Chains A and B, each alone.
Chain A
Amino acid sequence: MIKLEINNIKKTFGGLKVLKGLTFQVEGPELLGLIGPNGAGKTTLVNILGGLIKPTSGTVYLNGRRIDPFPPYIIARAGIGRTFQVTRALNRMTVLENLYVPALAKNPGANKNDFKKSAMEILEFLTIEHLRDEYAKVLSGGQRKLLEMGRLFMLNPDIMILDEPFAGVHPRLREIIFQYIQRANGNGKGVIIISHDMDTIFKLSKRLLVLHNGYLIADDIPEVVKEQPAVIEAYLSRDEDGE
C-alpha cells in the first residue's frame, strides 16, 4: 500500500518563511490536486518531496521509510517521480533516450533493449512514437510535456507529482495528458497534480489541498474546498504579504 507522509514540513530561505508547517498524507492510489496562489509554496513543497531541496525541519516518509535526508536519485528510485513547472527535457538526447534514462537508472543490471518495447508502448500512448529518434529540443512545448510524462512512466514511481501539466498545452494534447493521469492513477499510482487550471483540477482530482502563504488552508473533496471562505479569500483577495 502506497503511503506518503509529510510531517510538519517547514522551509525558510534566509529570512523568508516559505513553508510554515505542512502536514498531510497520501494513502493508496489517490488523485490529489494541489493548488494555491503564486508564492504559496507549491513548487518548494514539490522540490522537497523530490529531494532537490532539504526542509528546514519536518520529515517525509514514503512507505514507512524516511526519505527527506536523501539525494534526489535515491528518492526517485524509492518511488517519487516528478515533472517540472517549466518543462525540462534532455534536449540533445533523442526522445527514446530520454525514456531510457530513468528506466536504466532504476534497473542497474538492465540494458536499453530490455526497455525498447515498453518505451514504444508509452510513446504510442502519448502519440509521439513517430518522434522517437528526434532530439527532444525539436519537440513542441506540448510534446515536451508528454515526453516528461513518458519519462515518469518509465521510472514507474509510486507517487507521481505533476507540476502544471496543462500549462501552455494544446487542447488535444491536454486530453492525452488527462488520460495519462487517469491511466497512472488506475494503475495504482498516487498522483499529485499542481495546476492553476481550476476547471481541470476540479474535474480531475478527488481530493484537493490548498496552500496559502506556506500554510495548508484546505484539504477536502473539491466540491467542499471551493466553497470554503479561506480558499475564496486566498484566491480573490490580496494577501497580507502583498503578493
Chain B
Amino acid sequence: MKKRIPYIIGLCIVVILLIFPFIYTGSNYEYLMHLWIMAFFYAILASSWSFLGGYAGQFSFGHMAFMAIGAYSSGLFANYVYLSSAPTRFCSGFKLGNVFMLFLDPIGVTTKKLTCLDLAKQAWPTDVVVSQPSVFWGILLGIILGGVFGLLVGALVLRLRAAYLALFTIGFSEILRAAISAEISITRGQAGLRVKPLFPDGLTLFGKAYTAVDKIPPYFVMLFLLLLCLAVMLWLVHSRFGLFIRSLREDEEVAATLGVNTVRYKILVFVISSMMAAAGGAVNAHYICIVTPNMLIILQMSIVIAMAVIGGLENIISAAIGAIIISFSLEFLRNDFTIGSLTIDMSIWRLVFFGLLLMLTLRFWQNGLIQPLIFKFSRLARKKQSISKHRIPEIDLTDQGSKEENEK
C-alpha cells in the first residue's frame, strides 16, 4: 500500500488540475490561470531537461534554444505560410494537392508596403480562397525541427563531456539568439514576432464557446502536453532505454564495454528532450502570442536548470513539481515589503532569494527538495536487509575446493 502512495497522490493532483478551471471562482481567476499555464510550460522544460541532464548526464545549456526553435518555427509558419486555391506570381510557393502553398516575403518591423499576398489578392478573381494552415501544423513543424536540431547538436557533442558540453551548448544557444536578433526582416528581431493564438477562431467544448483569448483552452493544451511528455519520459526511464541512458550518465566507457550503443542513446536522448522543449515552446508561443530572442538569454536557461535541481535532478516528476512550485513562488515573491523605513523591491530581490535557495539546495540537498520525498515512499515498500548483518559464507579455500568446483 505504501508503495502506491506516490501514485495515489499523483492521481489526486492530476484530478485537481483537471477540475480546477471549473471550480475556482476567485477574482484573480485569469491571473491564476496564467500562472498555471506558465508553470506547466516550465514543468515541461524542467522535466525534459532533467531527462537529459539528470538521467543521461548530458548537462546541456542549450535547452532553451530548442524551446526557441519550436516557438520561432511555429511562429514563422503562422506568419509566413498561406494556402490559396489559385497560383500567384507575387509570392513564392508550390502546389500541394489541390491548393497552393504560398510563402510571404519578409515582413520586417517598420515596413508599410503591401505584402506579396496583398498584391496577389488584388490580381486574383474574387472567388479565390485564401486561408492559413492550422496552428497545429506549425506546432508539429516546430517539434520536428526541434528534433532535427537535437539530432545535429547530439551528434556534434558526442565526444564532449561536462564543462565542454555546457560551453558548446551555451555557444549554440547564443548563436541562435544572435541569428534571430540579426534577421530583423524575417523575425522582427528584438521587436518580437507576433504569433496567432492557439485557437484563432475560438473553440467550442462540451457546448461551451471559448474565445481566442480565453484561458481554459491553452490551460488544457499545456496541461495535456505536460502529462504526455511526463508519460513518455516515465515509460522510457522504466524501460531498457532508461537503464541504458543512466549507465551512460554513470560511465560512458563502461556502458560501451557492456554492450550499450552509447552513440545511439546519447543522440536519442538529445532528440527526445529537444522535441519536448520545442513542443512546449511552440504551444507557449501561441499562448503568449509573441516570441522574442530574450527567451534565449542565459538567465532563462538558469531558471529552468535551477527548477530541476531544486525539485530533484534525477527524477522527472520531482523536476516538474519543482518547476511548478518555483514558478508560483517567483510570482508571489513579486510583492514588495517594508521593514521600518526600508522598502524591499522584490521584483529584483526575488531572484536573489531564488539563487540562495539554489545554492542551499546544492550544498545541503543534492537530490533536491521533492525527490527525497518520492524516493522515501518508493523505498519504504522494499524489504531491506542490513548490509552489516550479512555474513559471507565460509568457502572451501583449499585446492581441493577448487578442484571440486572444476569437476562440477
Which residues of A (89-145) have their CB < 8 Å from a CB of B? 90-93, 97, 100-102, 104-106, 111-112, 127, 130-131, 133-134, 138
A66 at the interface (CB under 8 A from B): no
Please choose the segment from A18-26, A56-64, A69-77, A226-234 that sits at the chain B interface, where 4 or more of its residues have CB less than 8 A away. A69-77
Given A88-B251, A105-B260, A130-B390; A172-B405 close (CB under 8 Å): no
Q: Which residues of B contact A186 (CB under 8 A)?
A: 405-406, 408
Which residues of B (237-280) have their CB < 8 Å from a CB of A? 239-240, 243-244, 246-247, 249-251, 253-263
A85 at the interface (CB under 8 A from B): no
Q: Are A73 and B254 in contact (CB under 8 A)?
A: no
B402 at the interface (CB under 8 A from A): yes
A81 at the interface (CB under 8 A from B): yes
B112 at the interface (CB under 8 A from A): no
Q: Are A93 and B258 in contact (CB under 8 A)?
A: no
Please choose the segment from A5-13, A175-183, A217-225 that sits at the chain B interface, where 4 or more of its residues have CB less than 8 A away. A175-183
Interface string of B213-257 (1 = CB under 8 A from A): 000000000000000000000000001100110110111011111
Q: Are A151 and B387 in contact (CB under 8 A)?
A: no
Given A178-B402, A186-B405; A90-B260 close (CB under 8 Å): no
Considering the chains assembled together, what is the distance between the CA atoms of A82 and B318 in angstroms?
A: 36
What count of chain A residues pass the 8 Å CB interface test? 43
Please choose the segment from B134-142, B179-187, B344-352, B392-400 that sits at the chain A interface, where 4 or more of its residues have CB less than 8 A away. B392-400
A202 at the interface (CB under 8 A from B): no
Considering the chains assembled together, what is the distance between the CA atoms of A91 and B251 in angstroms?
A: 9
- From B256, which residue of chain A is reached at the shortest CB distance? A72
Q: Which residues of B contact A101 (CB under 8 A)?
A: 243-244, 247, 255, 258-260
What's the nearest-Cβ distance from chain A to residue B43, in Å? 24
Given A72-B253, A72-B257; A130-B387 close (CB under 8 Å): yes
Given A93-B246, A133-B382; A50-B387 close (CB under 8 Å): no
Considering the chains assembled together, what is the distance between the CA atoms of A196 and B367 in angstroms?
A: 40
What's the nearest-Cβ distance from chain B to residue A186, in Å? 6
Considering the chains assembled together, what is the distance between the CA atoms of A172 and B393 in angstroms?
A: 9
B89 at the interface (CB under 8 A from A): no
Q: Which of B246, B256, B387, B408 contacts A92 (CB 8 A)?
A: B246
Given A90-B247, A172-B395; A155-B259 close (CB under 8 Å): yes
Considering the chains assembled together, what is the distance between the CA atoms of A76 and B253 in angstroms?
A: 12
Q: Are B250 and A92 in contact (CB under 8 A)?
A: yes
Considering the chains assembled together, what is the distance between the CA atoms of A173 and B390 in angstroms?
A: 14
Q: Which residues of A contact B397 (CB under 8 A)?
A: 171, 175
Q: Which residues of B contact A100 (CB under 8 A)?
A: 243
- From B246, which residue of chain A is reached at the shortest CB distance? A93
What count of chain B residues pass the 8 Å CB interface test? 35
Considering the chains assembled together, what is the distance between the CA atoms of A102 and B254 in angstroms?
A: 10
Given A97-B243, A182-B405; A82-B250 close (CB under 8 Å): no
- Is chain A's interface secondary structure helix, strand, loop, or mixed overall? helix
Q: Are A105 and B405 in contact (CB under 8 A)?
A: no
Given A133-B382, A179-B402, A186-B406; A76-B395 close (CB under 8 Å): no
Q: Are A127 and B257 in contact (CB under 8 A)?
A: no
Q: Which residues of A contact B260 (CB under 8 A)?
A: 73, 101, 105
B363 at the interface (CB under 8 A from A): no
Q: Are A91 and B263 in contact (CB under 8 A)?
A: no
A52 at the interface (CB under 8 A from B): yes
What's the nearest-Cβ distance from chain A to residue B133, in Å? 39
Considering the chains assembled together, what is the distance between the CA atoms of A197 and B35 in angstroms?
A: 65
Considering the chains assembled together, what is the distance between the CA atoms of A72 and B251 in angstroms?
A: 13
Which residues of A (161-192) have their CB < 8 Å from a CB of B? 171-173, 175-176, 178-179, 182-183, 186
Q: Are A76 and B257 in contact (CB under 8 A)?
A: yes
Q: Are B392 and A127 in contact (CB under 8 A)?
A: yes
A84 at the interface (CB under 8 A from B): yes
Q: Which residues of A contact B384 (CB under 8 A)?
A: 133
What's the nearest-Cβ distance from chain B to residue A9, in Å? 18
Q: Which residues of B contact A52 (CB under 8 A)?
A: 253, 256-257
Considering the chains assembled together, what is the distance between the CA atoms of A61 and B373 in angstroms?
A: 52
Considering the chains assembled together, what is the distance between the CA atoms of A52 and B258 in angstroms?
A: 12
Q: Are A130 and B258 in contact (CB under 8 A)?
A: no
Considering the chains assembled together, what is the distance between the CA atoms of A133 and B260 in angstroms?
A: 22
Q: Are A90 and B244 in contact (CB under 8 A)?
A: no
Given A92-B250, A111-B240, A176-B395; A134-B259 close (CB under 8 Å): no
5 closest A-B pairs by beta carbon, nearest first, are: A105-B259, A72-B256, A90-B250, A102-B258, A76-B259
14 pairs, CB–CB < 8 Å, chain A vs chain B: A51-B256, A72-B256, A88-B251, A91-B250, A93-B243, A101-B259, A102-B259, A112-B243, A131-B387, A155-B258, A172-B395, A176-B392, A186-B406, A186-B408
Other A-B contacts than A101-B258, A112-B243, 5 sampled, CB-CB below 8 A, are A52-B253, A100-B243, A101-B247, A104-B244, A179-B402
Interface residues of chain A, those whose CB is within 8 Å of chain B, are 50-52, 71-73, 76-77, 81-82, 84, 88, 90-93, 97, 100-102, 104-106, 111-112, 127, 130-131, 133-134, 138, 151, 155, 171-173, 175-176, 178-179, 182-183, 186
